[in-house]
Amino acid sequence: MRKQYDGLSALVRGEMKSDVMSGDVYVFVGKDRRRAKAVMWDGTGLCLYAKRLAKGRFAAPWERAGEEALVLTMTELALLLEGSECVLRKPVSPAPWTPADSSLRFV
């Protein structure tokens, strides 16, 4: 957990093949799962958030995710950063709304 802005954004670009300035939140958890860092672009600059749990460990939902990037809702991200073990055990947010008729036109 020694990396800061440049090191973590290099991981996002190099390993994940993503743009750190996309507005997504990228979370990195230490080996012992007691520390986590989140990097995100807020439109004006790169933000780095860090958290160390006083008790317990962060959940490891990525162990069940496979090779693909793990995508969390804001609620699931909040649960993960709070140290909850319930992350991704059950869906906590409804599925995104999509219009039933894609031919709708707004005039």
In which domain, by residue range, is 26 found? 5-81
Is residue 62 in some structural domain? yes
Is residue 17 in some structural domain? yes
Which of 46, 36, 13 shows the shortest CA–CA distance to 87? 36
| Counted domains in the chain | 1
Is residue 88 in some structural domain? no
Dump pLDDT digits (tens) for 60-93: 877 765 667 788 888 888 888 888 877 766 666 6
Is residue 74 in some structural domain? yes
The whole-model pTM stands at: 0.74
* Cα dihedral across residues 74, 77, 81, 85: positive or negative: positive
Dump pLDDT digits (tens) for 16-67: 899 999 999 999 999 999 999 999 999 999 999 999 999 989 888 777 656 6
